[in-house]
Chains A and B, each alone.
Chain A
Amino acid sequence: MSHTARGYTPETAEQECRQDPPSDAPDTAARRRWMAVLARSEIRELEAAWRQLATPPSHTWLRRPETGLVMLRARAGGSGAKFNLGEASVTRCALRTDSGLTGVAYLLGRSHRHAELAALFDALLQDETRHTELQSGLIARLAAAQAARRNAASRKAAATKVDFYTIVRGESL
């Protein structure tokens, strides 16, 4: 039985995916933000935060960490035709804590432990009793550190900026 050559094209699949767009409920938007912060964090920051938890939850896997590739697409000049920039490794996992919360993580790179910690914190952030403390503590701290890193990188890049200009050469005078 061949299940790949059945003429069901990726385009059809894409269309069907579009029929079911991600919900933009405020809850979803908030979760998206903290998941992004967890994904961009450094693993040692998450390890440290995990060690500081008074009662770390145990969990079962819904989907063990797995690493795959995603195609990064871009537009030439930011507005031109789409092209494939290259592939990036992405690790994802999903788990359920003993209190029944589902945590999911998708992040760049191949670190399974990082994905596990990000998913665990994603689950804990959905716990109403822990949410405020984690959001204003861990997530705020991580987001500030990321902003600082980004700022430093931009400043470094900005220092190398070159302005090209042409001195009037006088032919038309």
Chain B
Amino acid sequence: MTALLKASDGLLAGFADPVFDSQSVFRTVLDALAHPGSVVQIAPQAPAPLAQASTAICLALLDFETPLWLQPGLPEAQQQLIARHLRFHCDCPIVAEPTQARFALIHDAAELPALSSFHQGEIDYPDRSATLIVQVSALDAGAGAGIKLRGPGIRSVTTLAVDGLPAEFWRQWADNTKLFPCGIDLIFVAGKRIVGLPRTTLVEN
């Protein structure tokens, strides 16, 4: 029996109300991507080994058609727990290569792989590119300091401060925006707060 216990051990509950909670999260993510650079809060709770909002986004958006890439680097047991949790609730395949993934979950933004290592979409199907969920230590929008963003969904210019990104990130992001209509989309997550960064959002120098 001990093997059995281990196999089913560590499963956590998903949304309390799968239908309404995932609709609510979907709406929030939609808002975040429609208004790049502004902070929105994810309300529904979902216990998990991840940040509140990343778990909620995964539960709402992933299914059997969306292969997920998990950033390595966590202790083996925790990595297994996350993979099992998401496979149980979303049925999503977990893939080993970033290029195969429709979604990527980045728990440590400092170790974020190059944005070009993810699927950029094809010119006929730009919607097939990857969406990155990046957990960062802190997010602040509209403050004086930070990076200046403009593009669709932003009235003139907005500022965004993100802690814990690699130094070359914003240069890579500028390259990503040049691939339009291809290119990846990105969602920053800090606790329950999220910020959307779609491929159309440009960095102001």
- Complex Cα distance, B7 from A28, in Å, reads 10
Interface residues in B96-139 by Cβ distance below 8 A to A read 102, 125, 127-128, 131
Name B60's closest neighbour in chain A (CB-CB): A3
Choice from B1, B18, B61 contacting A27 with Cβ under 8 Å: B1
Interface residues in A57-85 by Cβ distance below 8 A to B read 60-64, 66
How distant is A133 from chain B, measured CB to nearest CB, in Å?
14
Chain B residues contacting A64 (CB-CB under 8 Å) are 18
Chain A residues contacting B8 (CB-CB under 8 Å) are 101-102, 104, 126
Residues in B lying within 8 Å of A, measured CB to CB = 1, 3-5, 7-9, 11-14, 18, 29-30, 33, 61, 63-67, 88-89, 93, 102, 125, 127-128, 131, 185
B14 close to A63 (CB less than 8 A): yes
B7 close to A126 (CB less than 8 A): no
Known: A5-B127, A60-B13, A62-B11. A126 touches B4 (CB 8 A): yes
Known: A3-B61, A13-B93, A128-B1. A8 touches B11 (CB 8 A): no
Name A122's closest neighbour in chain B (CB-CB): B8
Name A4's closest neighbour in chain B (CB-CB): B65
Q: Does A25 contact B (CB under 8 A)?
A: yes
0/1 string, A1-21, CB within 8 A of B gives 1:
111111110100100110000
Chain B residues contacting A7 (CB-CB under 8 Å) are 125, 128
A8 close to B66 (CB less than 8 A): yes
B11 close to A94 (CB less than 8 A): yes
Of the A-B pairs whose beta carbons lie under 8 Å apart in the complex, a sample of 13, sorted by A's number, is A1-B127, A1-B185, A8-B102, A13-B93, A27-B1, A27-B4, A63-B88, A63-B89, A66-B18, A96-B13, A101-B8, A102-B9, A102-B11
How distant is A154 from chain B, measured CB to nearest CB, in Å?
33
B102 close to A6 (CB less than 8 A): yes
A8 close to B65 (CB less than 8 A): yes
Interface residues in A12-54 by Cβ distance below 8 A to B read 13, 16-17, 23, 25, 27-28, 31
